[in-house]
Amino acid sequence: MKKTLAGKIENKQAVVGVIGLGYVGLPLLKAFHAAGYPVVGFDVDGRKIESLKAGRNYLKHLGSDMVATMLKAGRFDATSDMKRLGECDVVIVCVPTPVGKHLEPDISFIENASNDIAATLRPGQLVVLESSTYPRTTREVMLPRFEAKGLRVGQDFFLAFSPEREDPGRKDHNTQTIPKLVGGIEPNSGELAVKLYSHAIAKIVPVSSAEVAEAAKLLENIYRAVNIAMVNEMKVILDAMDIDVWEVIEAAKTKPFGFQAFYPGPGLGGHCIPVDPFYLTWKAREVGQTTRFIELAGEVNHHMPRYVVEKTIRALNEADKATKSARVLVLGLAYKPDIDDVRESPTFDLITQLEELGVHVDYNDPHVPATHHMRRWGDLGKKSVELTAQSLATYDCVLIATNHAATDWQLVGDHAKLIVDTRNAMAKVPSVKARVVKA
């Protein structure tokens, strides 16, 4: 089976299926299609399938013509019918891995995808999990479901883990250029997965096992979470001492070694950093270990929206504006600049906390025209308001949550009454008439 599948991969006759057509799965599907493989995208969201079949791309940062180009070239299909997984020689799983209310891992999407794959699993298939998760998920969650079919891993079918490393909106790297970690459940699986990805990704980094690859992805995001928490804590401390943390960071990063700059903000957002570290926290308890750094970092980062809200209320009070009659415009719904990705965005916490205090809150985001239903917040039922001199004048405070390049910051500086800036966005504006409070 290994030799036959290796031949299909080498000759680009292997059909590559991707389950989950979001910020990870759709770019990956594009990469394999660009490499010359026939591809099939799978997703339970019928709206995504309808959009793809019509040639429309719902992920703007990938380019408006991406899907139309794939359709025109052929070798591309999209479906919600999981029974078609048996048509694929390779199945790559890119489904969400959120956390629950108590920060416990929710791997139900992986379990559901594994059950769907198992239902049609046949000899000669390679399955790769890309979803971020705790170590041993591939071996303990996916493998038993597949072996229950009576097939032997490494002989009849093959199983590996290769973590996604997507960073939506990044200009210097994309799916094809980010080095790819690949670890098999056993050697044959690892070799086939390396061969597969080497045709679509510029650099492949083989590791000894799926567990190493799973743990490496968590380490990458824990590293960022801990360092962001550290600089967020520094911001709070230095603010109390009337020292500008942004200037401190610029000064520190002049050292050519031993320091990497991280920047504070209103909290953590995105699909990885606020979530993935707690997968290790949960798994560590199983082996009798604690994760004090991770839990402390989580505590600091989760407190940041409350800190920003407190600064905003204090600034309004100093401007003689009562909280319950205040109007606040939040700039930026996406979790980072220049994208439309709102997953785990701290802006939702800012809005809900301010509204709980009686503040009227609107938002403006050039990339997010309206809110939609989300697992944690539901649907706020808001639409992005127009950013004009007239609209700015109607708000008592402008709260900067995300510093999009498309935002006219000079306009904000000229016409806002009060600005609470969590991103140092106003630092580069030549002249600011409004009062600016850094938070």
Kindly list the catalytic residues: 272
Owner of token pair 């039922």: 381
Of 117, 119, 198, 201, give the one whose Cα is nearest residue 158: 117
Which CA distances in Å does 222 have to 140, 170, 261? 23, 20, 16
Whether 198 and 182 have beta carbons less than 8 Å apart is answered as no
Of 419, 337, 367, 314, give the one whose Cα is nearest residue 167: 337
| Helix, strand and coil in the chain, % to nearest 5 | 40, 15, 45
Owner of token pair 């429309």: 56
Neighbours of 191 (CB within 10 A): 18
Question: Which residues of 87-157 form beta strands (DSSP E)?
Answer: 90-93, 126-129
Owner of token pair 């019918």: 81
Whether 433 and 413 have beta carbons less than 8 Å apart is answered as yes
Distance, in Å, from the CA atom of 104 to the CA atom of 286, rounded to the nearest integer, reads: 13
